[in-house]
Amino acid sequence: MSENLIAATYPGMRKDDLIVITGAGGFIGGSLTRYFHNQGFTRLRAVDKKPLAMWYQVFEDVENLILDLSQETNTVRATEGAVEVYNLAADMGGMGYIERYRVECMRSILINTHMLEASYKAGVKRYFFSSSACAYNIDLQQDPNVRALKESDAYPANAERGYGWEKLMSEIFCQEYHAERGLGTHIARFHNVYGPHGTWDGGREKAPAALCRKVIEAKDKGTPQIEIWGDGTRTRSFMYIDDCTYGIDMIMHCDKLTATPINLGTSELVTVNELVDIIEAIGGVKLQRMYKLDAPKGVGGRNSDNTFIKSTLHWEPSKPLREGLKTTYDWIEEQYFARKAGKHTVQD
């Protein structure tokens, strides 16, 4: 079987097969719904616990359900008749959120546990779980000049407190549902996804969106300063949303990756200061940097080793950071000024 199959070309997959996407009111889930909608799939079920008015993207010809999937009965409803399930539902956000609300992040294990059981009982053929690079051993991520993390670096286990441990344990649930019950599970460890149609304000936003907003706000208010969490030397890689959705599709439809965690991220490592440099250049401004050293800042460095995904799929996320940030900046700027004009935005 070909290694580069997607849903549209997977043998036996039909355009009227029911695809369920949880967390569909959020950033990645909403973008994945759009992705399959654009691919011509006619039976999509989008599920999120937020009111529909708070969803980042809504499609009228999609079955949109408002359900709290930490409740077992709701997962039964969500998975009825599904051929494929993409579980992106989780209580999470940027570093400020996952460091302050560890209990809430860990409670997301209820979602995946109930969704796996419901999917198994519903006869779902393929199940996708969105894991995170936060599942990796934090001892390997203290130096900003960190080596790229390969899949085996999750063990011996020493994940990030709260959110990271929930992801690692949920991965194991997925692997055991395949080993013991034959459910075709697929697992991707996301590395810092960014792009338009995501959180850009309110405390749950991640660094690229937060910094774009801060630059836009500084320009608008004429205040030549920007607050940066930490000292700006910590390093990360950032993956554009379109690479993420396409990667999810390929991982889900690669039989070699059944019950096998795999990195989904870029290997373009930058410091936070370099990230600010790029965004300032996009905004055409240079700001005085104020470093908030007591703010949540996460591990010293984290990057994706893409050896495995390249050898398996002959592909890796490749959108240049500068290009993706320009699109993201423009969208956030539009949202910012829409809010200022009293119009409704996805953050209101």
Q: Report CA Rg, the chain.
A: 19
Q: Is residue 336 part of a domain?
A: no
DSSP string, 59-87: -TTSEEEE--TTSHHHHHHHHTT-SEEEE
* CATH code of 167's domain: 3.40.50.720
Angle at 268 between CA 38 and CA 136, to 5 degrees: 90
As to burial, measured by CB atoms within 10 angstroms (0-12 exposed, 13-18 middle, 19+ buried), residue 249 is buried
Single-letter code of the amino acid located at 165: W
Return all residues near 320 (Cβ < 8 A) that are at least 6 apart.
268
Provide the number of structural domains found in the chain. 1
Domain contains 113: yes
Note whether residue 166 is domain-resident: yes
State the sign of the Cα–Cα–Cα–Cα dihedral 292, 298, 303, 309.
negative
pLDDT digits (tens, 9 = 90+) for 246-294: 999 999 999 999 999 999 999 999 999 999 999 999 999 999 999 999 8
Instruction: Outline where DSSP puts E strands in 133-249.
Output: 184-190, 193-194, 225-229, 235-237, 239-240
pLDDT at 95: 62
Closest CA to 272 of 317, 304, 243, 302: 302
CA–CA separation, 108 and 295 (whole Å): 24
Rounded Cα gap, residues 231 and 219, in angstroms: 22
64 inside domain = yes
Q: Which domain holds residue 109?
A: 19-194+238-264
- Helix, strand, or coil here: 104? helix
Query: What are the tens digits of pLDDT across the range 13-29?
Result: 999 999 999 999 999 99
In-domain check, residue 290: no
Q: Is residue 187 part of a domain?
A: yes
Q: Where are the beta strands (DSSP E) in the chain?
A: 19-22, 44-48, 63-66, 84-87, 126-132, 184-190, 193-194, 225-229, 235-237, 239-240, 262-264, 269-271, 288-292
212 falls within a domain: no
Query: Taking the alpha carbons of 109, 111, 112, 116 in that order, is the dihedral positive or negative?
Result: positive
Q: What is the structure's pLDDT at 94?
A: 62
pLDDT of 91: 76
The per-residue pLDDT for 3 is 56
- Among the listed residues 101, 127, 163, 177, the single catalytic one is 163
For residue 9, the model assigns a pLDDT of 96
Q: Is the pLDDT of residue 150 over 70?
A: yes
Residue 156: band (very low, low, confident or very high) from pLDDT cuts 50, 70, 90: very high
Mean pLDDT in residue range 241-250: 98
Q: What confidence tens digit (pLDDT) does each residue in 107-119 have?
A: 899 999 999 999 9
Give, in order, the Cα–Cα distances in Å from 167 to each of 1, 261, 296: 30, 11, 20
CA 22 to chain centre: 12
**Which pLDDT value is given to residue 2?**
43
* CA pair distance 126, 120, nearest whole angstrom: 10
List, for residues 23-67, the tens digit of each pLDDT value.
Answer: 999 999 999 999 999 999 999 999 999 999 999 999 999 999 999
Instruction: Say whether pLDDT at 93 is over 70.
Output: no
DSSP 118: H
Residues 6+ apart with CB under 8 A from 25: 46, 48, 49, 50, 52, 54, 55, 56
Residue 347 has pLDDT above 70, yes or no: yes
- Is 291 a catalytic site residue? no
- The answer to the question of residue 111 being in a domain is yes
Give pLDDT, residue 92.
67
CA 89/CA 167 separation, integer angstroms: 12
